[in-house]
Amino acid sequence: MEPLSRRSLLAAAAAAALMPRGVLGAAARAKSLLVIWLEGGPSQLETWDPHPGTAIGGQVGAARTRAPGLEIADFYPRVAEQVHRLSVLRSVVSKEGDHERGTYAVKTGHRPEGATIHPSLGAIACHEAPVAERGLPPHVSLGKAQWPARGGFLGPGLDAFRIVNPGTLENLEPPAKVRAREERRLEALRVVEAGFGAAPGRRQEALDGALAMMSSPRRRAFVLDDEPKAVRQAYGDHPFGRGCLVARRLLEAGVRAVEVTLGGFDSHAGNHEAHRAAAQVLDPALSALLAELAERDLLRSTVVLVTGEFGRTPKINVAGGRDHWPHGFSCLLGGGGIAGGQVIGETDPSGAKAATASAVPVEDVAATVLAALGVDVRLELETPEGRPIPVTKGTPIRRLL
Amino acid sequence: MTGARALTAAALAILVGGAVFAAVRPASRAAPRSLPAPERAGAVAAVDASLEARWAAEGLTPAAPADDLAVLRRLTLALTGTVPSLEEIRRFEADAAPGRLDRWAAALLDDPRFHRSFAERLARVFAGSHAGAFVVYRRDLLVDWLAERLARREPFDAVVRELVSSEGLWTGSPEVNFITAAVVDGKVDEDQLAARTARAFLGVRMDCAQCHDHPFADWKQAQFKGLAAFYGGLKPSPLGLERAGGGEPHAPFGAEWLPERGRPRERLAAWLTDARNPRFARATANRVWGLMFGRPFVEPVDDVPPAGTKGTEALDLLAEDFVRSGYDLRRLVLAVAASRAFRLSSDLPEGAPRAALEKAWAVFPVTPLRPEQLIGGLLQAGSVRTIDRDSDLVTRAIRVLREKSFVAEYGDPGADELAERPATIAQALLRMNHKLPDEVLEANPFTATGRVALMAGGDGARALEVTWLALVTRRPTEAERAKFLPWLAEARGGGERGKVLGDLAWALFNSAEFSWNH
């Protein structure tokens, strides 16, 4: 499980030397975006920014990783073996302390304002680099996300396609007991459709696309029957583990943007226990995913962002919980040409409010993701009303690109 | 899951039991003949004349008048959010006196389904559609409050004044949720309220002027800030809303209508609803038009050009009558429902210029149903009787739950419901493969399909007719009868017939005819 073999590095360098600049730019571009969404606001202290032995540190210990000097919470022994492939941002700040608004801010890189709904990063990726092949949605959300990534003003066609129960085809096939009647149903539908003359054309596309998806062999990417048992076990036999494995399959199949959601982080009471329970699911799944992405050479073409809507208060409340804290939290970011093994920013071990001088606004995280995906961060997108909206107001983090 | 299904089945049994006899056979219940025919409300003739003049000037031949049942369908969808029930269709068809559509429109305005559905539409505009659990509960209180006002025919200007100037706690005074829906981190966001006020009550998008002068309309940042200052310094406290500080309020235009005295929000409320402010009535007329047609008279619904703008004469006429009537929302709804444009067909002869005709309201526009109309229509079609306030509590609870989850999956359009969205692949997949349509439409002793299969027995023609009426509010065409009657005839036994009918109901539900307004 080496990160990148020496030979492939050499090959890449040789190829780069031979290629003209423009082509190199294109070749270096990330193809896809993978967001691991930790819903509810994971505590930075119990994930990627432990402060053991301090007043704010709680009971969790620190685990060493393969990146020199980088330690993460010891809830994550397996992720510790893989996390050097990504970088750790420890001073992310947002202005939104409410779940819905915070989710919007991180998923789109914009604050919610007015009636303009900004597109999520995944929707922008799909919009800027459309997927040509049919049969799979370009943008997918796996698991029970409360606010899945949306297309916003780019249109509902770029909303993430939801599979609430990963590993199944869900609405991509008829319910089992009526499957035998599908032929007759579709025949009846054709007859009825032929009789409805109003506004032809505008409505046919969605139905055709749906039927194409239902009959496409590519949809097998959503199910796991042909994955070896050992692989499925490594990810974990639970919806999130299956979601991560499906995500890998979808990325391999050419899906542009995938998000996988894990809940259980909103620990206003019993913070330690809640985070330990969540880690038992996240640790195997995320580590298996990172290892496989590297092994299958997908990490170079996939930007990986692991984050929630905000972090949690350094101070532990009377219920043993931590409350919402957008003033300095952690996320993991890497892949797709983004430097790995870096640590950006730090939080105050005494837990005083202001993050640090090196604060990274969520807007900058979004800008970094977009830049790595090859999107010009000065780009303006147009709303249906013709209003130009900057794709991001953030600045890419130079150290990572 | 099994428990929930059993519950559903039981609820449907209560609904369907008994009523199906009446509904499968032509009406045995009293038709509302006793209702007085409402006067052809105020602006109808003038609106018709204005649009007809436009068609003539542009050389457009309008579509033929729509069939009465087609109008009944779009009317019921607009006013109650569901398709007409079999029971209603039977009663409607038994009413042979002239003017039955006007009578039905008026009757629907007294239907609690209308109060509820319109209140929900308005609440989205007034308070957004944020989904946090606490906020949903607050919004529900606001919806109840609005529904009650619609039921007791409170003038619309008074409703808006109460919303804008309300004091008190959100629990005791639901209307104050207009303000508290804009609370961010414990503070009232005055910019959000100003933007919403401008959109909802003035038909003006001033949001961009929040940060800079509007690039192409003549709104300046100072105008926006002056409007926002009416909501400045507000803080929710245990005693209600308190005002401390805040900037100097200015009316963005028409300063002479602004009362000099009073609390800032009282002054704003009076200014907004002053009879001299043409934007309030025009914005309301445009929204009501949009809710009736599925598409506002001018788009977007909340960016309406000033009174007298060429091509928007119909809005002026409706707005003037709305003011004259003392802001009677029902009269406005009835006028739109009675207009010639509302009663035109969606069908056009081959080669007719649909886009140009739709633009001039010379053909009824074909628009996708909103998710709540689609699900409402599905659940209603699965039942023979009308699902309304009188339906038992279990049925309604199930309906509300399903509506919410299905709407979430189908894609909640949020506050801006009248912005037209393209149909998506995910929606088509959901309609085809989600288990809910199958549960509602499959033939079993508890569903309408099952009862129809049973009652109609070997009478295939009757079974087809009832299924078609329940789902698409029309009778099957010749081509459909020719195709499907043999299917039913070949089916051996009631069980198999039920399956064929279930498949036909599935096909109708998945047809564009069902999921698009027409």
B504 in A contact zone (CB under 8 Å): yes
CA distance B41 to B61: 26
- Give the mean pLDDT of B303-328: 94
Q: What is the pLDDT of residue B390?
A: 58
Percent of chain B at pLDDT > 70 equals: 84
* Residue-wise pLDDT tens digits, A119-157: 999 999 999 999 888 889 999 999 999 899 999 999 988
* Residue-wise pLDDT tens digits, B79-115: 999 999 999 999 999 998 889 999 999 999 999 999 9
* Unique residue bearing structure tokens 């984050």: A307
B205 in A contact zone (CB under 8 Å): yes
In the structure, what pLDDT confidence band is assigned to residue B452 with cuts at 50, 70 and 90? confident
Q: What is the pLDDT of residue A312?
A: 96
A125 in B contact zone (CB under 8 Å): no
Q: Please, what's the b/e burial string for A186-201 (b: 16 or more CB within 10 A of its CB; e: otherwise)?
A: bebbebbbeebebbee
Residue A384: its chain B contacts at CB < 8 A?
Answer: 419
User: Is residue B257's pLDDT more than 50?
Assistant: yes
Residue A56 phi/psi, 5-degree rounding, is -100, -10
A382 in B contact zone (CB under 8 Å): no
User: Is residue A33's pLDDT more than 70?
Assistant: yes
Q: What is the pLDDT of residue B420?
A: 75
Residue B511: its chain A contacts at CB < 8 A?
Answer: 189, 192-193, 196
Whole-model pTM over 0.95 = no
In the structure, what pLDDT confidence band is assigned to residue A358 with cuts at 50, 70 and 90? confident
B414 in A contact zone (CB under 8 Å): yes
Question: Among A116, A188, A199, whose Cβ lies nearest the Cβ of B507?
Answer: A188
B167 in A contact zone (CB under 8 Å): no
How close B436 comes to chain A (CA, Å)?
A: 10
Question: Among B205, B416, B423, whose Cβ lies nearest the Cβ of A203?
Answer: B423
B412 in A contact zone (CB under 8 Å): no
Measured distance between the N- and C-terminal CA atoms of chain B, rounded to whole angstroms? 36
Q: What is the pLDDT of residue B391?
A: 59
Question: Among A178, A199, A210, whose Cβ lies nearest the Cβ of B429?
Answer: A210
Asked if A137 and B426 count as a contact pair (C-beta separation under 8 A), the reply is yes
Contact A197 B518 (CB under 8 A): no
Q: What is the mean pLDDT of chain A?
A: 89
* Residue-wise pLDDT tens digits, B343-366: 999 999 988 999 999 999 999 999
Asked if B95 and B84 count as a contact pair (C-beta separation under 8 A), the reply is no
Contact A115 B508 (CB under 8 A): no
Q: What is the mean pLDDT of chain B?
A: 84
User: Is residue B450's pLDDT more than 90?
Assistant: no
Q: What is the pLDDT of residue B237?
A: 77
| Greater pLDDT, B235 or A197 | B235
User: Is residue B18's pLDDT more than 50?
Assistant: no
User: Is residue B188's pLDDT more than 50?
Assistant: yes
Which range, A96-100, A153-157, B277-281, has the best average confidence (pLDDT)? Answer: B277-281
CA distance B73 to B67: 10
Q: Which two tokens stand for residue B440?
A: 């509602």
- Give the mean pLDDT of B213-224: 73
Q: What is the pLDDT of residue A231?
A: 97
| Greater pLDDT, B177 or A295 | A295
User: Is residue B26's pLDDT more than 70?
Assistant: no
B424 in A contact zone (CB under 8 Å): yes
Q: What is the pLDDT of residue A199?
A: 56
| Greater pLDDT, A12 or A290 | A290
* Unique residue bearing structure tokens 């051996």: B492
Asked if A342 and A399 count as a contact pair (C-beta separation under 8 A), the reply is yes
Is the Cα torsion angle B293, B298, B299, B300 positive or negative in sign?
negative
Residue A163 phi/psi, 5-degree rounding, is -120, 105
B151: buried, middle or exposed (CB in 10 Å: 19+, 13-18, 0-12)? middle
- The lowest-confidence range among A14-23, A364-373, B195-204 is A14-23
Q: Which two tokens stand for residue A34?
A: 């993978």
Contact A198 B185 (CB under 8 A): no
Residue from A23, A16, A31 nearest A337 by CA: A31
A188 in B contact zone (CB under 8 Å): yes
- The lowest-confidence range among A30-34, A212-216, B106-110, B234-238 is B234-238
Residue A310: its chain B contacts at CB < 8 A?
Answer: none
| Greater pLDDT, A199 or A357 | A357
User: Is residue A6's pLDDT more than 60?
Assistant: no
* Unique residue bearing structure tokens 């739950």: B401
Residue A171: its chain B contacts at CB < 8 A?
Answer: 426, 429-430, 432-434
A6: buried, middle or exposed (CB in 10 Å: 19+, 13-18, 0-12)? exposed
Measure the CA dihedral B20/B23/B28/B32, to 10°: 130
In the structure, what pLDDT confidence band is assigned to residue A201 with cuts at 50, 70 and 90? low
Residue A196: its chain B contacts at CB < 8 A?
Answer: 511-513
- The lowest-confidence range among A77-81, A339-343, B136-140, B483-487 is B136-140
Measure the CA dihedral A300/A302/A307/A308, to 10°: 180
